[in-house]
Amino acid sequence: MVLFISPPFGNYLTFLPGAIPISGSFTLEPRPGLLYQIINTLRYNLEHGGWVNKIGLRNKGIHYGLNNYDANNVLSIAIKKDEDVAKLNKIIPRDRNIEINVSCPNTSIRIPKDLGVFVSEERRWCIVKLSPLDTEKHIDGFYKQGFRQFHCCNTFPVIGGGLSGTYLIPYVKDKITYIKKKYPDTEVIAGGGVRSIETANMYRKLGADHISVSTLCFNPILFGYFYTMYPTVTRRSFPP
Which one is predicted more confidently, 226 or 231? 226
Q: What average pLDDT does the structure give for the chain?
A: 88
pLDDT of residue 33: 63
HSE of 1 in the Cβ direction (CA atoms, 13 Å)? 26
**What ranges in the chain are assigned the alpha helix state H?**
34-41, 62-68, 84-91, 136-144, 169-182, 197-206, 220-229, 231-234
Question: Per-residue pLDDT tens for 40-75?
Answer: 666 777 777 787 766 667 899 999 999 999 988 999
Determine, yes or no, domain membership for 48.
Answer: no
Determine, yes or no, domain membership for 33.
Answer: no
pLDDT of residue 69: 94
- Tell me which residue range forms the domain holding 127: 3-28+62-155+168-234
- How far apart CA 82 and CA 200 sit, in angstroms, is 36
How many CB atoms sit inside 10 A of residue 165's CB? 22
Domain count, the chain: 1
How far is the first Cα of the chain from the last one, in angstroms, to the nearest whole number? 16
* 122 has pLDDT over 90: yes
**CATH code assigned at 109:** 3.20.20.70
pLDDT of residue 136: 94
Question: Per-residue pLDDT tens for 136-168?
Answer: 999 999 999 999 999 999 989 888 778 989 999
